[in-house]
Amino acid sequence: MVDTSDEWIRERTGIVERHILKQDGLGTSEMGADAVRKLLAATGTSVDEIDMLVCATVTPDMLFPATANIICDKVGIKNAWGFDINAGCSGFIYSFTAVDAFIRAGRAKKMILVCGERMSGITDYTDRNTCPLFGDAAVAMLIEPTDNPNEGLIDYEHHVDGIGRHYLYQKAGGSCYPPTAETVARREHFVYQDGKTVFKYAVSNMADVSVGMMEKHDLKPEDIAYLIPHQANLRILAATGHRMGLDDGKILVNIEKYGNTAGTSIPLVMWDFKKRFKKGDNLIISAFGAGFTWGALLYKWGI
Ligand SMILES: CC(C)(COP(=O)(O)OP(=O)(O)OC[C@H]1O[C@@H](n2cnc3c(N)ncnc32)[C@H](O)[C@@H]1OP(=O)(O)O)[C@@H](O)C(=O)NCCC(=O)NCCS
């Protein structure tokens, strides 16, 4: 147990609970497959109808094959192809933009997007700078075309800055530093984060890109129904919303229930708050993560 307290974690991050997949030998695909089975049942979709399955994750079951392929195998999807997207906590915004492009190009009719992370598998529970933050989760979404060009994904703006590799990374286990007894002894197979630096980049970049999206579309705070921010830290997401001129009631937060689930956090918010959304609502969806990666979507709710 690290030297920390519930009070410190609540105050500095907003996190109250996290969910952890505890069984050995089960990875992100296990949660992803479970979510896909529930999605297929809820939407009355058969596995044969799925053209593509894409998985956004930084905690793949293994470096290869892709977790998307393992999920397809586990749920019996045979006629689809797919791949993983590694964009850190920007996993949802990047992968949603990618699947949207396949749908718009007419190259796919029914796609499944899975955002899933078993962050507990790469979290060092002797490092108090990171272990209170991360939780495990998976969400599956069915993505289909719409006839209405004024709903769904209206616009996006994404960025990368490779300077982020010095501040938030998992050093060992890839081709640069293959795992050895030494890399394991140095705990380099776990997430490393310089929290202060990441915090500064996250606050300014998430706010800039979100405000930029409002300006580009001439949207005032009253035109935005909700901000759906990546759930990194309550202070980061509140700062983003306030820079956009939004009241707290428009800044959707569920970090207290799940912690930081990386690329999965935004669809988890959409799931928890979906009953609040009304047809025509303008949603700004914004994220910042490892890479650095960051960006914002303007999404018009269509149902
Ligand atoms: C990690 C994070 C919560 C730390 O909060 P912070 O307020 O910035 O804390 P600091 O790093 O300034 O540390 C303040 C003090 O708390 C201590 N501290 C750090 N973690 C602690 C913990 N779990 N429990 C108790 N004390 C802790 C530090 O050691 C430091 O003590 P010191 O001043 O004696 O050195 C915060 O920096 C953060 O959220 N960063 C971004 C994280 C993130 O979003 N990552 C994912 C990218 S999407």
Cα(227)–Cα(286) distance, integer angstroms: 8
Q: What is the distance in A from the centroid of ligand 1 to the CA of 228? A: 23
Indicate which atom in ligand 1 lies nearest the CA of residue 196. 37
Of 55, 115, 131, 230, which residue is the catalytic one?
230
Locate the DSSP E strands across the chain. 52-56, 81-85, 111-118, 136-143, 152-160, 168-170, 191-193, 226-229, 282-289, 293-300
Per-residue model confidence (pLDDT) at position 149:
87
In tens digits, the chain (303 residues) has pLDDT values of: 798 999 999 999 999 999 999 999 999 999 999 999 999 999 999 999 999 999 999 999 999 999 999 999 999 999 999 999 999 999 999 999 999 999 999 999 999 999 999 999 999 999 999 999 999 999 999 999 999 989 999 999 999 999 999 999 999 999 999 999 999 999 999 999 999 999 999 999 999 999 999 999 999 999 999 999 999 999 999 999 999 999 999 999 999 999 999 999 999 999 999 999 999 999 999 999 999 999 999 999 998
Domain boundaries, the chain: 6-143, 152-300
Q: Which residue has the tokens 């930081």?
A: 260
Per-residue model confidence (pLDDT) at position 1:
75
Class of domain 6-143 (CATH, top level): alpha beta
Q: What is the distance in A from the centroid of ligand 1 to the CA of 145? A: 43
Q: What is the distance in A from the centroid of ligand 1 to the CA of 128? A: 8
Which residues sit with their C-beta closer than 6 Å to ligand 1?
4, 8, 12-13, 89, 128-129, 132, 193, 195-196, 198-199, 202, 232-233, 236, 260, 288-289
| Dmax (CA) of the chain | 56
| Fold agreement (6-143, 152-300) | yes
DSSP state of 165: G
State yes or no: is 89 an active-site residue.
yes
Q: Report the 10 Å Cβ neighbour count for 103.
A: 20
Indicate which atom in ligand 1 lies nearest the CA of residue 129. 20
Per-residue model confidence (pLDDT) at position 288:
98
pTM of this structure: 0.95
* 33-87 pLDDT per residue, tens: 999 999 999 999 999 999 999 999 999 999 999 999 999 999 999 999 999 999 9
Per-residue model confidence (pLDDT) at position 227:
98
Is residue 92 classed as helix, strand or coil in its secondary structure? helix
- Look up the CATH superfamily of 152-300: Thiolase/Chalcone synthase (3.40.47.10)
Q: What is the distance in A from the centroid of ligand 1 to the CA of 253? A: 20
State yes or no: is 19 an active-site residue.
no
Beta carbons of 258 and 19 less than 8 angstroms apart: yes
